[in-house]
Amino acid sequence: MLRRIIQACFLIIGGTLGIFLIPDLLLLIGTEDIVLINNPYVSAVLGALIFYFITFWAVDYVTNFIKWAEESLIKAPITDVIFGSIGLFFGLLVAFLIGFALNAIQVPIVNTVAPTLLTLLFGYLGFQVGFKKRDELLNLFSNKIGKKKSGEEESEEERAGDLKILDTSVIIDGRIADICQTGFLEGTMVIPQFVLEELQHIADSSDVLKRNRGRRGLDILNRIQKELAIKVEIYEGDFEEIQEVDSKLVKLAKITSGVVVTNDFNLNKVCELQGVAVLNINDLANAVKPVVLPGEELNIQVIKDGKEHNQGIAYLDDGTMIVVEEGRDYIGKRIDVLVTSVLQTSAGRMIFAKPKLLEKAL
């Protein structure tokens, strides 16, 4: 079907060119007196026939080019196509206005060549600006629509519509699915395409541990998308000028006014330094752990040596590490300890304690 359409277009182009060009060609070779040939209908038929024979050679190339262009447009994200087209339209509009102004100059070369060059130049620049600035433009439009008059508070619906941008580490960790299921995390979960590509790369790794982590992350995403009553969006854009995935996440959060959700300590610090809102799953986990105050008693089992001299290490059920001073002699035993201090950071919580038996002896 496509080949037939292309051949029909060739015939129409050939007939049109024949009407305008064949008389001039006859005049050039001195045969304009031949009335039968120097006729618009005959010229159209001759031009159509010439281009019909050309189609036998050119139709395959044109068909392949059109199919390639069609596949490229289908694969491209719709935002890229829309904003690229908008940029192209404004570029061509500017070229037309400048060309219209140049027509008043009455310089033959300028009037002939300049409009073509301006159309190519501004059309290209307009498309590139619209394509590369799509994220900023999208964010601008969303802010214009979502914002109310100054001084008014956002409604609950608007607050719940905040974008939560998931990074690779928090997806692999898996706790994000349980948090979403409980309803503590509201809004739209945004999964960037470059994060999916990194997960896919990890899942295809030759290292067994990495491969299992990648597959776990993909399973978590499937669970969030299919089983949980929460809105999930795939962000298909990319920042080709940026190589690091963490830097891309920060950039995306800036242009969309979104919140980065992570359990990566370093990414957490980068977001804080660049003024990007961030939710750290480890901070949430530490916040909901049972509060342990200095002076409280705990019954624990010392399981190994500590880093410092004569220290022992134990763990609570939630994974919190307890450093037991003078606890090395109790390795493998359950003992009562008294909490002396608690250290809490984004990286986790650490409890320092000493054996209660030692306290009684003193």
Measured CA distances, 326 to 296, 297, 316, 353 (Å): 18, 16, 18, 9
Q: How many CB atoms lie within 10 A of CB 282?
A: 20
Q: Exposure string (b/e) for 50-77, b if CB count within 10 Å is 16 or more?
A: ebeeebeeebeebeeeeeeeeeeeeeee
DSSP string covering 197-250? HHHHHHHT-SSHHHHHHHHHHHHHHHHHHHTSSSEEEEE----TT---HHHHHH
| pLDDT at site 152 | 45
Q: Exposure string (b/e) for 174-201, b if CB count within 10 Å is 16 or more?
A: eebbebbeeeebeeebbbbebbbebbee
| pLDDT at site 151 | 44
Q: How far apart are CA 65 and CA 308, in angstroms?
A: 71
| pLDDT at site 145 | 47
| pLDDT at site 128 | 83
Taking only the tens place, the pLDDT of each residue in 159-178 is: 434 788 888 888 888 888 88
Q: How far apart are CA 246 and CA 233, in angstroms?
A: 19
| pLDDT at site 107 | 65
| pLDDT at site 159 | 43
Taking only the tens place, the pLDDT of each residue in 74-100 is: 777 777 778 888 888 888 898 888 887
DSSP string covering 266-289? HHHHHHHHTT--EEEHHHHHHHTS
- The fold for domain 292-361 equals OB fold (Dihydrolipoamide Acetyltransferase, E2P) (2.40.50)
Residues of the chain with CATH 3.40.50.1010: 156-286
pTM over 0.75, yes/no? no
Structure tokens at 212: 């299992």
Question: Was domain 156-286 assigned CATH 3.40.50.1010?
Answer: yes
In the predicted model, residues of the chain with pLDDT beneath 70 are 24, 26-39, 105-111, 135-161, 318, 345-348, 358-362
Structure tokens at 358: 């030692």
Residues of the chain with CATH 2.40.50.140: 292-361
